[in-house]
Chains A and B, each alone.
Chain A
Amino acid sequence: EPEVTQTPSHQVTQMGQEVILRCVPISNHLYFYWYRQILGQKVEFLVSFYNNEISEKSEIFDDQFSVERPDGSNFTLKIRSTKLEDSAMYFCASTGRRGQPQHFGDGTRLSIL
């Protein structure tokens, strides 16, 4: 069964550094999402992406964040200047149609020192 894959599984970065989290969605999916889960808190929506542009973003997704689909397979989340509070598990998800279940990757654990 096709899977969403995320790399790396764990990223440790110094505060203020840039970080790029990578995702390969399921190949025929059209809608892509990033979510995050701070330790002990609920999973929160960050951004949705469709037709090569951001379709919606949450209040969390400020100017420090950006997403890109640089080629036909990868979907990346960049944090320009990381803060301690960016430490969280970041999940990528994709679906073929709006409203259909989203398929999630195993997540990237981001630790900011």
Chain B
Amino acid sequence: AQSVTQLDSHVSVSEGTPVLLRCNYSSSYSPSLFWYVQHPNKGLQLLLKYTSAATLVKGINGFEAEFKKSETSFHLTKPSAHMSDAAEYFCVVSDLLRGGSQGNLIFGKGTKLSVKP
């Protein structure tokens, strides 16, 4: 079965400092991985996706993630945090390659990012 583990439930950084949100996945196949962000009282917005084309994936708002098969990791990074980055971030794997699946998403528990001025 596929799953994702987000190693930190809460990360706090100062504005202008780097962001690292950690995610490890478990998959029997080559996975499709995503990061979504959820701002308060809003829906889930796609930040970036990995679908085996390139291991370093660039997303919106300056975020990027690197797929490391040897470490089964897909950590999300940003060089310099902005106040508007404060939100909850979800690492997600698609169940697509399981027989009969319609690509249901399996979510991690989320990491709440706080950005201090």
Contact = CB atoms under 8 A, between A and B. Distances in A.
Dominant SS among interface residues on chain A: strand
Contact of B103 (A42, A44, A91, A95): A95
Dominant SS among interface residues on chain B: loop
Interface stretch (A13-21, A64-72, A73-81, A97-105): A97-105
Contacts, number: 64
Nearest to A37: B107
A35 to B, nearest CB: 7
Contacts of B44: 43, 91, 93, 104
Interface residues of B, number: 25
Contacts of B22: none
Nearest to B97: A99
Contacts of B41: 106
Interface of A: 4, 6, 31, 33, 35, 41-45, 48, 50, 55-56, 91, 93, 95, 98-107
18 contacts: A31-B103, A35-B105, A41-B109, A45-B104, A45-B105, A48-B102, A48-B104, A93-B44, A98-B101, A98-B102, A99-B51, A99-B103, A100-B103, A101-B49, A104-B36, A104-B43, A104-B44, A106-B42
